[in-house]
Amino acid sequence: MTTDPSAAGPPGPAGPTPAPASARSRGERGAAPRPLPVLLAVPAVLGLVAVLLPLVALFPRVDWATFPAAITSPAALSALSLSLRTGLAAMVCCLVLGVPLALYLSRAPSRLAEVLRIIVTLPLVLPPLVGGMALLYLFGVNGYLGQVLTVVGITVPFTTLAVVMAQTFVAMPFLVISLEGALRTAGTRYEYVAATLGAGRWTVLRRITLPLVMPGLIAGTVLAFARAVGEFGATALFAGNQPGVTQTMPMAIYTAFNGAGVTRDSALALAVLLVVVSLVILLVLRDWRRREAW
């Protein structure tokens, strides 16, 4: 998994775009593209190879005979199941917190929105390790909130909860940024119409605002889920690597290369599985968004 938000393309026109804009893009698509300097093709191809070759190189190393056994070994299954459960939990957290945040962000005055957007984007740019450290200093046994929680008898670090928190921390920007873009594109004209038809704020949100940005919302949710499942750095520092409790797939793969837990074969099989699953997610998402673009 990459931390580059543009990996799956920008949120794109999630809502209805103004007519002139769509007419313009149609016109550009119809004309032949302007030729580029030929020399640029060399670094461009190298760039593509740099992304593709390492991933392709994974596949010949897989022992396909033992592949089914490798991904169904108890250690692998445990990591897989933990990744899925924590990933889904983090996705729900991102939705519950991120959707309202994106809504307010899209309505904020431009100056304030600028500042808020930078804050929200920060976890996306930061090395995840730094995020994990920050979480540890806040929720650790000696951390500001950690001390308070210890008194109540709650310990966060090195629990499954910590995994979910770390994943939410790194994945939230994907949802918020993607959804906010869709909300800004959709604008508020339909909401005004809905209000003059007698719809209250909750009705407008439920029946107009959210359905209009549904493609952007789904895209953001899937990206956030994918990012949560791939989370490693923050989890490693804040949640640790305990099989069955905090050892997610990326942790299991890492551990296998240090000669513990799952075998290297399993690690390789899991890695290939992650690549394939990521690819499928991106393809489905792309297809779905094209279909839903009204």
Q: Which is nearer to another protein, 161 or 199 (by Cβ)?
A: 199
Q: Which is nearer to another protein, 24 or 206 (by Cβ)?
A: 206
**Minimum Å distance from CB 221 to another protein?**
18
Angle at CA of residue 202, ends 199 and 205, nearest 5°: 90
**Minimum Å distance from CB 208 to another protein?**
6
Q: What distance in Å separates the CA atoms of residue 244 and residue 248, rounded to the nearest whole number?
A: 8
Backbone angles phi, psi at 180, to 5 degrees: -65, -40
Q: Which is nearer to another protein, 14 or 91 (by Cβ)?
A: 14
Q: What distance in Å separates the CA atoms of residue 241 and residue 27, rounded to the nearest whole number?
A: 54
Query: Which H/E stretch holds residue 97?
Result: helix 74-107
Q: Which is nearer to another protein, 131 or 220 (by Cβ)?
A: 220
Q: Which is nearer to another protein, 65 or 202 (by Cβ)?
A: 202
Q: Which is nearer to another protein, 11 or 146 (by Cβ)?
A: 11
**Minimum Å distance from CB 194 to another protein?**
7
Residues 6+ apart with CB under 8 A from 243: 75, 78, 79, 252, 261
Give me the residues that bind another protein (CB under 8 A), please.
15-16, 189-190, 192-201, 203-204, 207-208, 211-212, 214, 294
Q: Decide: 136 and 237 in contact? Cβ < 8 Å.
A: yes
**Minimum Å distance from CB 82 to another protein?**
37
Q: What distance in Å separates the CA atoms of residue 80 and residue 225, rounded to the nearest whole number?
A: 14
Q: Which is nearer to another protein, 67 or 190 (by Cβ)?
A: 190
Q: How many CB atoms lie within 10 A of CB 280?
A: 10
Q: What distance in Å separates the CA atoms of residue 9 and residue 120, rounded to the nearest whole number?
A: 19
Q: How many CB atoms lie within 10 A of CB 219?
A: 28
**Minimum Å distance from CB 106 to another protein?**
18
**Minimum Å distance from CB 291 to another protein?**
13
**Minimum Å distance from CB 104 to another protein?**
19
Q: Decide: 199 and 73 in contact? Cβ < 8 Å.
A: no
Q: What distance in Å separates the CA atoms of residue 160 and residue 82, rounded to the nearest whole number?
A: 9
